[in-house]
Structure 1
């Protein structure tokens, strides 16, 4: 059997790039009251999910983007449509992690304290109505499997709480890319392998 070295060299030299983008900033002001109840926080999150976005520009240099995958939430879909001219593949698995469901009207705290508590309690405590970290990692694995099936450079438009999981899964699979704590809105993070 004769080996076609030209094709082998091309395969070895070709890189796959995955660009992670957090959706554009959402036009949804924090509550005006200093102290809010858990029910008011839940109401705010529901409004956030349906609010419009502040359109911006994303520098997409650094990749030959052939595919775009995005969450099914409106803010991610609008962002994807604004930055990518081709077909967009909408995946429910790219959805934001649901906040921990604090309920009630007795305890009042500043909104930003609630926002931090929602994520901290989710991270450290399980709740039957909230997706576990293991389940989040599993759906991120499915997303990365689907993205890699495209076998070309691909954009992934998602959400702040999910992006560190996406980054970890890409690193686990041998991709190199930037570290980020809290992903900035409308900024491209390129990972390549």
Structure 2
């Protein structure tokens, strides 16, 4: 069985223009990012005839899936991006510092830890469903954060595949179980 992970195409929303952002400004930026269109690209499907496709139901992932897979796509909210932890600060921070806070939020934020645990549970459930339904090769289109959890779960289940830190938009990461 083969499982391929693809991160959605690049979102057209650029980084925040303000050098420093409040919590509310950051939340507003992420909302705009979630609603932004994508720049379509090309994805090499490795000449594999994918029999099934699961996709996050978020527009950027769904549009990517429709662009690269011309058959029926199963939309799953379980494949949505990990929720951004709300860190209420009374001062503004540069975007890069917000990004660093998000990376370590699992260590310092109780809600972020709960969200990550829930994400791991959802990823495991998606793979349970995929494997129980069929041994057909599966294409999964989702988001960078989810893909990290998905990779770990696939490896845990005996699949072999590439390492990645930050998944490249539109690139296919192939995992195989012999």
Superposition TM-score tier, normalisation by shorter sequence:
over 0.9
| Conservation of the 8 A alpha-carbon contact between 1:17 and 1:63 | no
- Does the 8 Å CA contact 2:83/2:115 hold for their aligned counterparts? no
2:118 paired residue number: 135
Residue 73 (1) aligns with residue 58 (2): yes
> CA RMSD of the aligned region, Å?
1.5
Taking the aligned partners of 2:174 and 2:16, their CA distance within structure 1 comes to 34
In structure 1, list runs of 5 or more residues that go unmatched. Answer: 1-15
3-state SS of the aligned residue for 1:162?
A: helix
Deviation at 1:109, TM superposition (A): 1.3
Aligned partner of 1:22 in structure 2 is 7
- Pairing of 1:24-43 with structure 2 (within 5 A): 24-43=9-28
Which protein shows a greater Rg? Answer: 1
Aligned residues: 176
CA distance in 2, matches of 1:191, 1:43: 36
Q: Which residue of 1 aligns with 2:32?
A: 47
Aligned to 1:119: 103
> TM-score with structure 2 length normalisation?
0.93
After TM superposition, the structure 1 stretch with the greater mean CA deviation from structure 2, 127-136 or 41-50, is 127-136
Q: Is the Cα contact below 8 Å between 1:20 and 1:156 reproduced in 2?
A: yes
TM-score by length of 1: 0.86
> 1:69 is paired with a residue of what secondary structure?
strand
Q: Which residue of 2 aligns with 1:108?
A: 92
- Cα distance in structure 2, aligned partners of 1:112 and 1:136: 24
Q: Deviations over 1:109-157 (max 9, x none)?
A: 1112112212321x21343487432221111001111222232111000
